[in-house]
Amino acid sequence: MEVSIYNTMSRSIEPFIPLEKGKVGMYCCGPTVYNYAHIGNLRTYIFEDLLHRILTYSGYDLTHVMNITDVGHLSDDGDEGEDKMERRSRESGMSVYDIAEMYTKSFFTDTSALNIITPDVTCRATAHIGEMIGLIRRLEKNGHTYISGGNVYFSIDTFPAYGRMARLKLDQLSSGARIEVDENKRNPKDFVLWFTKGKFENQTMKWDSPWGVGYPGWHLECSAMSMKYLGESFDIHCGGIDHVSVHHTNEIAQSEAATGKEWVKYWVHGEFLIDETGKMSKSKGDFLTISLLKEKGYDALDYRYFCLTGHYRSQLIFSWDALSAARSGRTNLKKQVASLIQETGGKKTEISSDAAQAVLDEFNGHITTDLHVPQALAVLWKLMKDKDITSGEKLSLIEMMDSIFALDLLKEEKKESEPIPQEILDLVQKRAEAKKARDFALADSLRDEIGEKGYTVKDTKDGAEIFRNM
């Protein structure tokens, strides 16, 4: 199936044409594992997962690579920067490696709860120091580097296309407006490839290199690892929108300066999740995590559903009300699917009717056009209400759609069937008797009493159902 996607490089939706027919190499910037991921971070991985699923669904043989940043990501630019991992280590008393392991694990716990498919390759920066040193040597050989104040810098003046994707106007950037200019830089936009100086006294992660003992600059790892696993040119590079102007700009510069080739064909960026006050960030006090959502009674997939209702290139406004709406939506969807399963005994039917085929075509059209997932979701709702399509066909269609949505629509909810206390059962029994005697005042007061004790009773045609209140 043909896929089109918005390319940040051209600022337009382009037909996707892979470098090698039928195959796709995709690299996505992964987490820096110095803290828990907040739900804004995770929105980006949900969007990348949708792209992953859509490419696979469309018949491509996909290789999806994601890095784990466990070194070199500074909290600030310039000499004042401190490695985020090291800072966390200093603050917590744990070793940097323990921190990396702990937060890597929690990251994958979150992504797994969100039904995000684990990339084919996940690679740690600290396991690829050799590749990074190799890349610096290539840049050095091509005359793109200089050493100043002990650090190795990339010289952007040696790369005329610098800032092309971000459309930076270098002469008009107000460098130093918000940060101190690094005196060692020839051009304020130059960036460090290898640190041997800086806030370094406590750095525990360091390696020997031709330029001295030190550690790599943050941007370097993505270039080095993506080329290792996907080759010197590959199809798709994803990440958050915030990476366009610095991180990806620098990645492009150092990669293309090293190889002399176009590095990435399609750049795909996901917009931010924001709240009423604007962007979510880890430095802005408390941040929202999947485990917090769970504590408040939401399923991780309620959040996934919420993300599916907005387009990946638009900001999405988070609120508890909006999340509750998503939870209700997903719950209703699941209920309707469950009743379809009950009705058919779970038997799916091959799609044969014109009506069903039309729904499938519409769905396919949406997902293969720049990830128009919100419209695809609307198609699912239309399908649920359709009166001409048989239940068996519906189930087949739902299964196909959910291979993209990944909302576990066909999965039966396992109810934790805690035993109902005898006390409650007695009250329910009493109420049933009161109802039978048409003493509704007593029945209602008994229902209130049951409610006070934390249970809800609902009458069905097969008698009373009892639920524990959440």
Partner RNA sequence: GGUGCCGUACCCAAGUGGUAAGGGACAGGUCUGCAAAACCUCCAUGCAUCGGUUCGAAUCCGAUCGGCACCUCCA
Contact (CB, 8 A) for 230 and 25? yes
| 445 makes contact with RNA (CB under 7 A) | no
**Hey, how many other C-beta atoms are within 10 angstroms of the C-beta on 119?**
23
Q: Does 278 bind RNA (CB under 7 A)?
A: yes
Which residues are CB-neighbours of 130 under 8 A, at least 6 positions away? none
Range in contact with RNA (rule: CB under 7 A) among 39-47, 118-126, 227-235, 399-407: 39-47
Six-digit token string for 261: 């080739």
- Spell out, one character per residue from 302 to 341, where the chain touches RNA: x when CB under 7 A holds, - when not: ----x--xxx--xxxx-x-xx-xxx-xx--x--xx--x--
CB of 260 vs RNA, minimal distance in Å: 26
Q: How many residues does the chain have?
A: 470
18 or 299, CB closer to RNA? 299
Over the window 199 to 228, marking each residue x when it contacts RNA by CB under 7 A and - when it does not, the resulting string is: -------------------x----------
Least separation in angstroms between CB 22 and RNA: 28
| Minimum distance, C-beta of residue 61 to RNA, in the bound complex (Å) | 26
**Is the CB of residue 196 less than 8 Å from the CB of residue 213?**
yes
Q: Which of 12, 283, 417, 469 binds RNA (CB under 7 A)?
A: 283
Q: Which residues sit opposite 393 in a β-bridge?
A: none
Q: CB–CB of 60/22 below 8 Å? A: yes
Q: Which is nearer to RNA, 262 or 459 (CB)?
A: 459
Q: Nearest approach, Cβ of 240 to RNA (angstroms)?
A: 1
| Residue 249 to residue 429: CA distance in whole angstroms | 70
Positive or negative: CA dihedral 409, 411, 412, 415: negative
The answer to the question of residue 135 lying near RNA (CB under 7 A) is no
Helix (H) or strand (E) holding 26: strand 23-28
Nearer to RNA, 18 or 434 (CB): 434
Residue 114 is a binding residue for RNA (CB under 7 A): no
- Nearest residue to 236 via CA among 1, 400, 47: 47
Q: Which of 102, 246, 355, 410 binds RNA (CB under 7 A)?
A: 246
Alpha-carbon distance of 129 to 135, in angstroms, equals 10
Return the amino acid letter for 395: L
Residues between 65 and 84 with contacts to RNA, criterion CB under 7 A: 73-77, 84
Please report whether residue 178 would count as binding RNA according to CB under 7 A: yes
Q: Are strands 23-28 and 234-240 parallel, antiparallel or unpaired?
A: parallel
Which range in 49-57, 124-132, 175-183, 388-396 contacts RNA by CB under 7 A? 175-183
Tell me whether residue 19 or residue 325 sits nearer to RNA (CB atom): 325
Strand (E) or helix (H) holding 308: helix 300-308
Q: Map the footprint of RNA across residues 346-405, applying CB under 7 A.
A: 372, 374-375, 377-378, 381-382, 385
Closer Cβ to RNA, 18 or 78, answer by number:
78
| In contact, 254 and 219? CB cutoff 8 Å | yes
Among 52-60, 225-233, 239-247, 400-408, the segment contacting RNA (CB under 7 A): 239-247
Whichever of 18 and 31 has its CB closer to RNA, that residue is 31
* Joined tokens for residue 462: 């097969």
- Asked if 198 interacts with RNA (CB under 7 A), we say no
- The residue to which tokens 């290199």 are assigned: 209
With contacts defined by CB under 7 A, name the span among 34-42, 145-153, 194-202, 205-213 that binds RNA.
34-42
Structure tokens at 202: 């406590």
Decide if residue 449 touches RNA (CB under 7 A).
no
Q: What is the largest CA-CA distance in the chain?
A: 94
Which CB, 134 or 188, lies closer to RNA?
Answer: 188
